């Protein structure tokens, strides 16, 4: 019973702090007028897009080993160099945005 009471108390505290973080992120603006919530969504999208491109790149560079002449030969139909350049750009933008978010986090207090 004591543990269940403690769990309930900790969950209430968790709910409170997540709510405070969300309110703070919604109310806090970057210099360009974008909220921290907007920046977090953008950062997540950059990460998702990079992951998708990484999967595409892995499939495009898959080296199929042929043992006989009659086996199917795989030919990449996408530009690996272009995809890699895009991934590098996404990674750079992610790092820059993440640094800006972390920097702003040190400057604000929870609401």
Per-residue model confidence (pLDDT) at position 72: 67
Our CA dihedral for 102, 104, 109, 111, rounded to 10 degrees, sits at -100
Residue 40 CB partners (closer than 8 Å, separation 6+)? 25, 101
What DSSP designation does 98 have? H
* pLDDT attached to residue 58: 87
Q: Which helix (H) or strand (E) holds 2?
A: helix 2-27
- DSSP class of residue 71 equals S
pLDDT in tens, the chain (111 residues): 999 999 999 999 999 999 999 999 999 998 899 999 999 999 999 999 999 999 999 888 776 666 666 676 667 778 889 999 999 999 999 999 999 999 999 999 988
> CB-side exposure of 33: number of CA atoms within 13 Å?
0
């Amino acid at each position: 019973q004591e543990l269940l009471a403690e769990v309930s108390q900790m969950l209430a505290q968790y709910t409170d702090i997540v709510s405070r973080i969300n309110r703070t992120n919604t109310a806090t603006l970057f210099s360009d007028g974008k909220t921290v919530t907007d920046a977090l969504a953008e950062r997540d999208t950059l990460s998702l897009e990079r992951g998708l491109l990484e999967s595409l790149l892995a499939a495009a560079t898959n080296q199929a080993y042929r043992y006989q002449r009659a086996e199917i030969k795989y030919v990449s139909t996408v530009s690996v160099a272009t995809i890699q350049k895009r991934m590098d750009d996404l990674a750079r933008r992610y790092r820059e945005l993440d640094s800006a978010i972390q920097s702003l986090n040190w400057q604000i207090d929870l609401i």
